[in-house]
């Protein structure tokens, strides 16, 4: 898979992509991520990439010509061009899974007050937002999308089944996790996790995943892929029954 990131500030992006899981995936050739300085596509001596908005107003707008030149150079058959922008649809695990099936992504990082509307209309395929808040630019969002997509590619994670157990993989939050020591500040790891009974452990994980989602993100339960048994657990939680009632 190839991911091209278009930005005015490559120094904000490249170092983060060279470390940890994404860095290892790049080194192993599983994903080819390239960072492009938009100024290299701007004409003239001063490489201008922004200008004042028509109609007045504060701030600057990213000009269409440099973006068009850069995007059109990178676009190929099957390329998906994505503008990172707070007005886009929300980026979710489901969206990441869909993007991981594609061969080539171009992530365009907005800046200042945004991009010329003609870029949205004619040069990008979709817009994505990582949340309902505003950043100074799309660089952080490009890093989020790149990592979320990369970790879903075959061979990236040591445990190939890990993505299926992640939070949001079934529309639910992940169950609580513990490691050594068994007792930390008088708080012990749940007995079931030390029992060696794999069936009981798996049921505990399922119950606690649904319980945590019910506690923290009940909105997710409206669209989560719940089995009939899990739906009964949710009903029990709503009636005041604790998760322990569903472990046997």
pLDDT for res 155: 95
Hey, what domains does the chain have and what are their CATH numbers?
2-150 (3.40.1280.10), 167-246 (1.10.1270.20)
Give per-residue pLDDT as tens, 188-237: 999 999 999 999 999 999 999 999 999 999 999 999 989 999 999 999 99
Task: List, by residue number, the catalytic residues.
Answer: 86, 113, 151, 166
CA distance 145 to 159: 21
Q: Is the pLDDT of residue 166 over 70?
A: no
pLDDT for res 203: 96
Give per-residue pLDDT as tens, 90-114: 999 999 999 999 999 999 999 999 9
Q: What number is the average pLDDT over the span 71-89?
A: 97
pLDDT for res 137: 96
Q: What number is the average pLDDT over the span 144-152?
A: 98
pLDDT for res 170: 80
Residue 185's pLDDT band, with cuts at 50, 70 and 90, is very high
Give per-residue pLDDT as tens, 41-57: 999 889 999 999 999 98
């Amino acid at each position: 898979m190839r991911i091209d990131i278009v930005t005015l500030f490559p120094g904000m992006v490249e170092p983060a992509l060279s470390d940890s899981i994404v860095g290892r995936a790049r080194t192993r050739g599983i994903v080819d991520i390239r960072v492009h300085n938009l100024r290299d596509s701007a004409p003239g001596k001063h490489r201008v990439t922004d200008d004042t908005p028509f109609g007045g107003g504060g701030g600057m707008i990213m000009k269409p010509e440099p973006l068009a030149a850069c995007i059109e150079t990178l676009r190929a058959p099957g390329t998906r061009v994505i503008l990172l922008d707070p007005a886009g649809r929300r980026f979710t695990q489901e969206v990441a899974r869909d993007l991981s099936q594609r061969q080539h992504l171009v992530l365009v990082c907005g800046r200042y007050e945004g991009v010329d509307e003609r870029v949205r209309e004619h040069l990008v395929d979709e817009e994505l937002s990582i949340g309902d808040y505003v950043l100074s630019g799309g660089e952080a969002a490009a890093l989020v999308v790149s990592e979320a997509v990369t970790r879903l590619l075959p061979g990236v994670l040591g445990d190939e089944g890990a993505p299926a157990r992640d939070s949001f993989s079934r529309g639910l939050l992940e169950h609580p996790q513990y490691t050594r020591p068994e007792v930390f500040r008088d708080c012990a790891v749940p007995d079931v996790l030390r029992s060696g009974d794999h069936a009981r452990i798996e049921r505990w994980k399922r119950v606690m995943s649904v319980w945590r989602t019910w506690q923290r993100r009940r909105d997710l339960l409206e669209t989560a892929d719940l089995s009939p048994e899990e739906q009964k657990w949710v009903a029990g939680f709503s009636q005041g029954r604790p998760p322990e009632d569903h472990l046997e």
